[in-house]
Every structure is written in C-alpha cells, then in structure tokens.
Amino acid sequence: MVTPPPDRNDCEPHHAFDAIRKTDRPSTTAKHTVREAIGSHLASRSGGGVTREVAYLFPGQGSQFTGMGKDLYDIYPVARRIFDQAARLVDFDIRSVCFEGPPAKLTQTRFSQPAIFVVSIAALEVLKSHSKSKILIPKFAAGLSLGEATALCAAGAISFEDGVRFVLSRGRFMDEAATECPGLMAAVLGADLPVVEEACRITGAEVGNLNAPGQIIISGKKKNVELAIEKLRGMGASKVIPLDVSGGFHSSCMDSACRRIEQALKEVLIQQPKIPVVSNLTADVEESSEKIKQNLVWQMNHRTLWEDSMRYIIGKGIKTFIEFSPGKVLKGLLRKIDPTIETISLSALEDFHAID
C-alpha cells in the first residue's frame, strides 16, 4: 500500500511544458549560444587540463518532439546502440515513434516516457564518448519528474535495462490512471504559492509542480482544475494556461498508478548512486535504495520541487548545468531561478558538433 509522506496536504502535484515554452523566451542580452558555452568549457580548456564541476539535468514529459534523437542515431554509433538496445526491451517501435511520430502517438504518456528516457541517455552517451568531456566533473544529477529516473540511470543507480522497463511501466500505468480519473493541468504564472494553494483548497485542485519563481503547475480532476483556473484568474494571476496533457499528473489522479509502480519497483535493483541525485520530492540527495524507490513512487502523485532542487545544487557551488536532449525547457526554468547560472543544452546535432 502506498503511504503518503507526512507533509502531504490537499494541494499536490506536475509537468508538460509545450504551452509554457512561449513564455520562456530568453531576452537578447541573456542569450548565450551553445557553441560559445561548449567551445569555451570543452574545446579551449581541455588542452590545459582545466576541469569544471557541473550538474546533469534530464527533462520530463512535455519535452518530446517528432524527430528527436534521429540526428544522434544517424551520426553516432554509441547513440545507435542505445536505441537498438531499447528497441529490444519495449513493446513498440521506439525508433519509429521518436523519429517519425506521429505527434499524436508520441505525446501519449505510454510512448513519450520511454522515448524521452532513451533519447536523454543516448545524448549522455554521445557526450561521454568525446575525449574533451573528461574535463566535466558531474557532481550532481537531477531530472524533472520522469527525468529523475533518467538521472538515476546516469548516476549508475539503475541499469539501462531496468530503467527502460521502469519508465515503460510508469508511462503505461499513468496512462491508464488518466483514463480512470480524467484530469487536467494548468500553468499558473504571476501568482504566489499561498494564493495558488488557497485556490486549490477552495476548488479541490492540487499543486503539481513548483518549477520556477512565478511559475506553478496545478493538477487534478478536470472539473476541479477548471474551477481553479477561473478562481486564479479572479485572484490576480497574470496568466493561467491549460496544458495539452493526457491527465492530472502529480495529483491524486495518479494514486492507482502509484500502487502499481510500487509493486513493479520491487523487481528493480537500485544501488547507491555514483553521482548524488537530487530528488524532486524532497529537493535533497537520497542514497538508500528504499528511500529512492519510495520517492519515485510518491513523486507521481505529489508536487515536485524543481525550483528548490535547483537551488540546492546551486547552493553547493555548482555554476554550470548541462541539460540533455530532448528540448531546452530546463534551461528556461533555470534562467528564471538564477540568471547567473550557465546552462549548456545538448539537444540539436549542432550542439554536439560544437564539442568537436
């Protein structure tokens, strides 16, 4: 039985960023090209043996796009091996779904979650295959929602095979839970957390993600979130944007998925991470296998603390973050959390060519 953590309240948890991306455009002065960033920290510094401590970041659902990973698959043998290995572990053509879609299929939770996981690990392996990457010292890893499983795999806590099987089950269970409990999510911009929590208390909606200053995601049963959207607009939120997602993730709508994934995790071997992984649920590093499993379950129906997780890593002195494909959503969130932090996004093929 899934036991909720002691601090769970009536306003709980999630992701999905396609509708938010339009609000995350960098200003002209804030733009820092990937080529400049990678060139300065990899190409020019590798010869002198200068190392740089970094944090690895992995995206969640909502970052997917048709064609993701295809350029890496076509160019890099190490990426091809990752995709081909994953294809033997899943019950659908993961290469076709990633490379060709159609978008309506790729956005389905049961397909998008394993697809994003595999693309992210392929991107990580491409980076690791470059000799110049040896100057990068990963001190922390974190991933938003689904991305936490990717971070644990990158940190050596979960094998790639177990990771693929886990996210395949996770996506399927969440998809089925969304059918059982029709839900909705919405991005709330320009409202403080107490205001959002009060709107949730009144309407029965739940807080899903605390992503960045001024950006909170609400979730829950469709009718409750719809009521909360109207309530928040009347309470002064600058924007409340319904998200194009298939369910009320990180809310009580996912309770049945949590019970099922808890059972599935009993078959997954989790070791102590070689790189500290910051949990979405606690915004802290967890090392014990049981605690990591517990957090993977609870973050599915509770709020995620992405902003606090990033501030934890920044507080440890990390000034450079590397975001792995697909997409560049996390870079936009980090810009809002701390504009002084440098984020290198490795998403497009040209990003990796900048390492050469």
C-beta of residue 315 within 8 angstroms of C-beta of residue 306: no
* Domains of the chain, CATH where assigned: 21-25+34-353 (3.40.366.10)
Q: Quick one: DSSP state of residue 326?
A: S
> Two tokens at 59?
């995206």
Task: Give the model's pLDDT for residue 27.
Answer: 37
What distance in Å separates the CA atoms of residue 75 and residue 241, rounded to the nearest whole number? 38
User: What pTM was estimated for this model as a whole?
Assistant: 0.88
- pLDDT of 204 > 90? The answer is yes
To the nearest 10°, the Cα dihedral for 321, 324, 325, 326? -60
The size of the chain, in residues, is: 356
What's the pLDDT tens digit per position in 37-81?
555 555 544 445 688 999 999 999 999 999 999 999 999 999 999
What's the pLDDT tens digit per position in 211-240?
999 999 999 999 999 999 999 999 999 999
Rounded to an integer, the average pLDDT of 178-197 is: 97
Task: Of 85, 156, 143, give the one whose Cα is nearest residue 113.
Answer: 143
C-beta of residue 167 within 8 angstroms of C-beta of residue 59: no
Task: Give the model's pLDDT for residue 42.
Answer: 56
> Two tokens at 186?
């919405």
Lowest-pLDDT range of 6-15, 116-125, 278-287, 290-299 = 6-15
Catalytic residue positions, numbered: 145, 250
C-beta of residue 313 within 8 angstroms of C-beta of residue 342: no
Rounded to an integer, the average pLDDT of 307-324 is: 98
